[in-house]
Structures are given as C-alpha cells and as structure tokens.
C-alpha cells in the first residue's frame, strides 16, 4: 500500500499553526506497518487542493486529507471534493440527528450553516464524528481510497481510531513493521556512526538504522519491514540487542522516551527520593523531572542557588571553596550535591554549576563549562562537561548529562 | 515571488519528529510579505527528493529545503542535489577551517565523515553555519533559487537569519511590510475580538489585525503592507497606539516577546531583586525568567517546595494553614511568597501553589486551580486562577499569569 497525507489550511503555511496532525497520523500508520510516502500542505484554494489531490492519487492508493471542513466560508474541502469527484450532495439524516443532539446538549441554537454540515458528497461513506460537528468522508473510487477529516486534532484522532483504521484493516493488506528505539546521551552522531559502522554494514536490506539527533542525545531507531509477520520481531530483537550492546556506555534507555521522564520513573519504581541544587540550570532539571506523574511521592523540593551567597547559606558550601576555586568548580558541585542531599534528607541529590552564557565566560572557564554532582550516602562524584549551544540548549544538554550520571548511579548502587 | 518548502526525513513521515521548521519559516516569510504556497515532506530517498524538487521548481521560483545534511549514511540531500543539478564537488576551505575550530573548541577529533561536510556541490554558494557542522547551500540556477539547510531547528534558523534572508532581499523584490505586536495575557480571543470590533472595522484595507492565541496569551499583530515605504511606519504607529490603548488592561508588552523574559528585563532595568517559591510549577517560572541574560544581577535563587514539609521548613508557612485550608489556598500562597521574600531578602517574591494534574484534583479543588502570590515590602497579594490543559500547558499559563501580576505590581509600586 502507498499512503500519503494532504493537510489543507492557510494557517499551516503562514506558520500560525504547527501541524501536529500529520505527525500523529504518521506515527499511527508506522505502528501498523504503513509508511507515509509524502505529506503535502496546501492553501485553502480549490485549484491547489484539486491539483494536490490528483497528483497524490496518481502515486498512492490511500490518501488522508485533513482540514477545511468547518462551517465558515474559508472551509472549502467538501465542495472541492464534490467538484473533484463530479458528484452531487445527499443529506445524511444520522448526521442531522447528531448535530441536533450536540447543540441541544451545548444549549446552542442549530444554525443553517451547521445543518449544512450534514450535506455530504453522494459518492462518500460518512465517517461519524463523535466529538465535533463536521463528519469525515470515505471515498473509495477507482481502487483508490481518499479519507477527509477535520483539522481539529481531537476530532481527527477520534475519527481515525473509530472509523478509519477499522475500515483500512478490512480494505488493505498490511505489511509488518517493527521499530526499536534506543536513546543515547553524550556522544555525537558522527562518533556513534563510527562505532556502528560495521554493525550497519551487516544489517539485512529490510532493516534500517536511523540516527535522530537532538540536544545532547541521539535516538537510534532500527526499523524492520516484512510482508508477513514471520520471525521479524525475533530478528529485530537480536539486532537491537547487538546495537544496544555496542553502544552500551551511551544508551540511557532502550525505549523512545524523554530521558528526564524515563529516569524519574525509574526513581519512582525504586522508591528513591531525590533533590536538586541547581545553579546555572535554574530549575530546568527540576521542571523536566516533575513532568512525570507520580513524582510527588519521591520529590519534596529543591533549591535554585544562582548566587554564591545562597550556595553558602542554603547548601552549606564552604566559602573557602568559592573564594579559591570559584563556584564553577568540582568541589563546589560536590558540596552543593552533598548539602542538598542532607538538607532535604533524600537518597540522591544532583547538582549543577556552570556557565550557561552568553556572558560570564573566561579564558579558563569558557561558556558551556559545567560540573554536575551526584551525591548518595555512599559518596559524591562530579563530572565535568563542555556543552554547546544557546542557554536553552545548554540546559537541555546539562539535564541529559545529569540523567546519564543518574542512570549509572542506579545501576551501580541501587 | 512564489515560494515553497520541502522538508526531508523519514522521521517527519513516521511522526517521530513534529515539523516545527516549516512553521517557523512560514511565519518569517509571512512577516516579509511572502506566503508559502505549498509544503511537501518526503522520505530520505533520492528519487523521491529529486521528483519533489523538480515538481516544486516547476511551480515556484524560491524553494527552501531542510533536512538530510548530517554526516551519516541516511543523510543524502547533498549527493541528491549534486545529481539533480548534474555537478561535481568542490572542497570549501572556509568550512574546513570552521570545522577544525569547532572541533578544537569542543576538544574532539575531526573525523573524515566530518571533513566530508566541507565538500559541497560546485554549483552552490556556501551558506555559513555558525552553530553547527553542516553548511547550507544556495543554488541559483535557471532563474530559480533553491536553498538547502540542516534540519536542526537552531542551525536552520541561524542560517536563515544570517545567510538566506539577506541574500533573498538582494535577489527578489519585496513589498514593504510593517508588523507591530502586542502581547495580551489572561483574556480569551473571543472577548478581545469583541473589545476590538469597532477598531477592526475602521482599519484601512492595507492594515490587518491578526489574533495569535497560545497558552493563556493572545498576540495581537497589526500588519501593514505597501508597495513602497512612504508613511507606513507612522501610520502603523498611530493605529498600534490606539490598539494598545483599547486593550491596556490586558497588554503585558508592546513587543513580540516572551512574557517571562520581557518582565525579567524590566526587573533588571529597575534593579529589583526577586525570588520564587514554586510548588506546582516546579521550577518552570524560575527557568523561564533566567533565560534572560544578565538576570544574575537580580536573581540569587529560589525554592521549589513540592512537599508541604518543605513549605513549612524552608518558607515558614504555618502548619495550621496547611492543615485547615490545604496547601492549595490563598493564605498558603501568601505565606510562601512572604517567606521566600524574607529568606532571600529580595524586593519581590512570587509564589505558585496549585493542582497541575492529571491527578490530585477534588470536587472542591479541581485540576487547574492555582493561587499565585506576590509579595513586596508594601504587602502581599494573591490571585486565584483556573487554568486548563495538560501539565506543560498549565505551567506555561501559570507563568504568564504571574508575569501579568508582576507587571501590575511594577507599575503600581516601583
């Protein structure tokens, strides 16, 4: 099967809306073994829409279309599809009943423009919209399926899950696709690819390795494809294990996860309390970690200690350390972590002190330098990093580096 | 000028990455008076890329391409462009020097795969990448411009701002466009548009008002367009002043700014020190505010007080308050702000206590409830809000609400 997506709407092209719909559809399809070959975003103009549709249908046999189904003048997808397929309208009484119930529940009057949403192209099957007013449409013409859905993400997802996917499973034959993703931290893409050179050259043709880099982490995604289910999962497992073994020093987790959330979940599972003493990262790591629901069981609080006087008064850092070696130093990071762990009486404390930039760097201590400390009752260790990018990138990288230290610590000590 | 965008990468089609690049480019172009006619996302396959490029160039005279420029095997954009234009490679010594400096600064060894990034198609002009290793490429062939940039957002943006936009301004004719943006907080789009109904109806045809809503704020963007520069700036200034006057209670700033950074700059300008006592926002507000360079002059540190015991021990909140009224209450928010201000001896302290969800809500105190406190030597005030969305949205909205309180406080007291 060849599938494509067309998204319709000026707001997508002038950057007012980030298109998350097509990413969601791509991910759902990928899980089912269908890869989307192309995505096209077009303006709310009938000719542009018709051209894009006819081009796409010449390449694929499944076309997903979103957007342009609202009740206002600039929503022209439905009329354009009628023109494209050269058909008239029929009124769908089930949609009328749904609209009446919906408007009554919302205590609003049903306007003509709303009832018009029940008039659908004769050639399509109605896709019921449980959470909104605009129904989806399923065209199956000349061996090609075109599905039209609203652009509101919750409505599109609901129609996809309840109406489109079940129909697709009846209509098409699906290949088997298996993805396995490992998240690596602290090693650049180029070094990883050198490490994996031999591995990659040995991969069979139906298994591909992709490098997906972002802020101090690189996701390694292994994708395998087969026409029927056979032994692909086992085969993938074997290759993925080898991949993870080759990169074992750098793999934070063997799932497609955000490092801070993954590590926080590990802490919750092990019921280990933690705290933080953040200087240059100013709350970033704390905030990333509390994104994981249930964190309140193991996180009581932490200190943001931007100024030296707060490092001294709140965390008990020896003023001598700061005077002689500076706040951006190994002993200071160690004292911050120890001080925080004792103050908050936790199993683990992480600290971060560095120079986020753009100002504040010196010849000896350049922008990007950071010391990350980790303290447990067994002792305190500090690692030194040079991180690059703007302030936000610096913080994201620092957080990922801290998570890798945390992972090593959990494996070693807990 | 007709412009289109092509984004390259399997990760965009299988939904692993949400394409924010093309939204950013669309917004930048829209500010310059160019609308993008179509966006196409294609897989990392040479034939798909070549077909999409040749189709796009048949429709437009400016084509922006992102992605596929990394040093690994799956990055094939550069070789594909060479094939497409039928040209060989040249080594760009300036890129070699940049790579050497970059790797030396990062204390890393330059690999052959990295140096290979300096080999560029003979037909292109190099677009210097100040923040990464893959240079951009500018092709100007047969009257059509094709720009290829890396998919890493920060690198794409840097190349766009410093290399592409200046070249485009030389190469193409642009209309004169003036934008003025005001950021409003805490008032929904529908009420704003009611407030501005008369104003909008009086706007001349060449000046348009756009509502750009996001997380508890709505940006009002006034855009004026003219064929030559004439008196557009003065005219825009007049209309913009009127707009800001009508919405004066809700306008946080009269620039296109992130509220937390704007308010932090105001504090720096007035040399007012501040601190925070964050419960449910877990460091989010602190981290947003320290994104503004120079903040270390006025920010010493703050407390993240997730657990009640920390609110009591670190901020001196009366245990009675928590026992009788709960931690999510007006008196607790007030005590947190006062406690933090005294502990850190600052001019201003902000506090936040609420229920970020998804769990933790009750019939009386629903998910989304938050109290924000603000304390100065003149007294402490608390405001209650009901904020909607997931955890991340809740925090962003809470931060914006706090910034509006801070703005009112600065106008009133300092």
Query: pLDDT at residue A113 above 80?
Result: no
Neighbours of A280 (CB within 10 A): 25
Q: Which residue of B has its CA nearest to A29?
A: B14
**Is A94 touching B (CB cutoff 8 A)?**
no
Do B93 and B216 lie in a common domain?
Answer: no
Do B290 and B329 lie in a common domain?
Answer: yes
User: What's the whole-number mean pLDDT along residues A321-328?
Assistant: 96
The encoded tokens of residue B140 equal 């100007």
CATH value at residue B200: 3.30.70.2860
Report the distance separating Cα B325 and Cα B329, nearest Å.
6
**Is A318 touching B (CB cutoff 8 A)?**
no
**Is A314 touching B (CB cutoff 8 A)?**
yes
| Tens-place pLDDT, residues A152-190 | 888 999 999 999 999 999 999 888 888 899 999 988 888
pTM metric for this prediction: 0.79
**Cα A376 from chain centroid?**
32
Report the distance separating Cα A304 and Cα B304, nearest Å.
8
If pLDDT is split at 50, 70 and 90, which confidence band does A275 have? very high
CA distance A400 to chain B (A): 16
Bridge-based pairing state of the strands B176-185 and B144-149: unpaired
Task: Answer with the one of A210, A235, A253 that is the final residue of a domain.
Answer: A253
Report the distance separating Cα A57 and Cα A3, nearest Å.
9
Task: Answer with the one of B137, B171, B205 that is the final residue of a domain.
Answer: B171
If pLDDT is split at 50, 70 and 90, which confidence band does A73 have? confident
The encoded tokens of residue A366 equal 């350049």
| Residue that has been written with the tokens 């933690």 in this structure | A274
Do B140 and B118 lie in a common domain?
Answer: yes
Find the helix or strand (DSSP H, E) in which A26 lies.
helix A21-31
Query: What domain count does chain B have?
Result: 3
User: What's the whole-number mean pLDDT along residues A112-123?
Assistant: 90
Q: What is the pLDDT of residue B326?
A: 95
Bridge-based pairing state of the strands B3-8 and B36-42: parallel
Report the distance separating Cα B24 and Cα B153, nearest Å.
9
Report the distance separating Cα B165 and Cα B24, nearest Å.
13
Cβ atoms of B346 and B273 within 8 Å: the answer is: yes
Phi, psi of A36 (to 5 degrees): -75, 125
Query: Which residues in chain B come in under a pLDDT of 70?
Result: 229
* Cβ–Cβ below 8 Å for A18 and B14: no
* Cβ–Cβ below 8 Å for B284 and A282: no
| Structural domain boundaries enclosing B19 | 3-171
- The three-class DSSP label of residue A248 is coil
- Chain mean pLDDT for chain A: 92
Q: What is the pLDDT of residue B229?
A: 67
**Cα A4 from chain centroid?**
21
Sequence-ordered strand ranges (E) for B156-264: 176-185, 207-214, 217-226, 251-253
Q: Is A259 exposed, middle or buried (0-12, 13-18, 19+ CB in 10 A)?
A: buried
Sequence-ordered strand ranges (E) for B78-216: 89-91, 119-121, 125-127, 136-141, 144-149, 176-185, 207-214
Do B243 and B266 lie in a common domain?
Answer: no
Cβ atoms of A318 and B329 within 8 Å: the answer is: no
Alpha helix positions (H), B222-318? 232-246, 259-270, 284-289, 308-315
Select the more confidently predicted residue: A393 or A355.
Answer: A355
Do A236 and A350 lie in a common domain?
Answer: no
Helix, strand, coil percent values for chain B (each to nearest 5): 45, 25, 30
Do B342 and B328 lie in a common domain?
Answer: yes
Report the distance separating Cα A250 and Cα A187, nearest Å.
7
Q: What is the pLDDT of residue A177?
A: 83
CA distance B117 to chain A (A): 11
Report the distance separating Cα B179 and Cα B206, nearest Å.
12
- Segment 33-62 of chain A within 8 Å of chain B by CB: 35-43, 48, 52, 55
User: What's the whole-number mean pLDDT along residues A303-331?
Assistant: 96
Do A74 and A194 lie in a common domain?
Answer: no
The encoded tokens of residue B208 equal 């348009």
Alpha helix positions (H), B60-110? 77-85, 93-105
User: What's the whole-number mean pLDDT along residues A211-227?
Assistant: 85
Task: Answer with the one of A228, A253, A278 that is the final residue of a domain.
Answer: A253
Cis upstream peptide for A358 (omega within 30°): yes
CATH value at residue A329: 3.90.950.20
Report the distance separating Cα A264 and Cα A255, nearest Å.
14
Neighbours of B228 (CB within 10 A): 7
| Tens-place pLDDT, residues B147-157 | 999 999 999 99
CA distance A75 to chain B (A): 17
Greatest CA separation for chain A: 84
Do B26 and B166 lie in a common domain?
Answer: yes
Do A223 and A111 lie in a common domain?
Answer: no
Q: What is the pLDDT of residue A393?
A: 85
Do A239 and A167 lie in a common domain?
Answer: no
Do B122 and B200 lie in a common domain?
Answer: no
Cβ atoms of A335 and A316 within 8 Å: the answer is: yes
Do B57 and B146 lie in a common domain?
Answer: yes
**Cα B373 from chain centroid?**
26
Report the distance separating Cα A280 and Cα A260, nearest Å.
17
CATH value at residue A9: 3.40.980.10
Q: What is the ipTM of this complex?
A: 0.78
């Amino acid at each position: 099967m060849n599938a494509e997506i067309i998204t319709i709407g000026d707001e997508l092209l002038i950057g007012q809306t980030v298109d998350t719909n097509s990413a969601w559809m791509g991910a759902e399809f990928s899980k089912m073994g269908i890869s989307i070959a192309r995505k096209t975003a077009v303006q709310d103009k009938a000719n542009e829409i018709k051209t894009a549709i006819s081009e796409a249908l010449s390449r694929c046999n499944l076309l997903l279309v979103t957007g342009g189904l609202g009740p206002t003048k600039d929503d022209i997808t439905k009329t354009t599809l009628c023109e494209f397929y050269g058909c008239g309208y029929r009124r769908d009484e089930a949609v009328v009943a749904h609209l009446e119930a919906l408007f009554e529940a919302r205590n609003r009057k049903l306007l003509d423009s709303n009832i018009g949403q029940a008039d659908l192209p004769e050639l399509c099957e109605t896709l019921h919209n449980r959470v909104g007013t605009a129904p989806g449409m399923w065209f199956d013409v000349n061996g090609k399926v075109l599905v039209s859905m609203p652009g509101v993400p919750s409505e599109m997802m609901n129609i996809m899950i309840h109406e489109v996917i079940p129909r697709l499973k009846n209509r098409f034959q699906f290949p088997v696709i298996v993805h396995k993703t490992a998240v690596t931290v602290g090693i650049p893409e180029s070094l990883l690819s050198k490490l994996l050179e031999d591995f990659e050259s040995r991969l069979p043709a139906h298994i591909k390795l992709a490098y997906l880099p972002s802020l101090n982490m690189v996701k390694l995604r292994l994708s395998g494809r087969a026409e029927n289910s056979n032994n692909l999962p086992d085969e993938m497992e074997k290759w993925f294990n080898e991949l993870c073994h080759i990169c074992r020093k750098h793999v934070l987790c063997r799932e497609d996860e955000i490092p801070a959330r993954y590590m926080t979940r590990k802490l919750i599972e092990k019921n280990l309390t933690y705290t933080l003493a953040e200087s240059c990262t100013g709350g970033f790591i704390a905030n990333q970690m509390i994104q994981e629901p249930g964190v309140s069981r193991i996180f009581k609080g932490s200190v943001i200690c931007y100024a030296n006087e707060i490092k001294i008064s709140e965390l008990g850092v020896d003023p001598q350390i700061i005077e002689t070696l500076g706040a951006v130093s190994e002993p200071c990071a160690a004292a911050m972590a120890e001080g925080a762990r004792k103050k908050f009486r936790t199993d683990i404390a992480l600290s971060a002190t560095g120079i986020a930039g753009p100002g504040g760097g010196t010849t000896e201590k350049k922008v990007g330098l950071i010391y990350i400390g980790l303290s447990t009752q067994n002792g305190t260790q500090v690692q030194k990093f040079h991180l690059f990018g703007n302030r936000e990138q610096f913080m994201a990288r620092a957080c990922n580096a801290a998570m890798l230290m945390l992972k090593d610590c959990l494996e070693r000590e807990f």
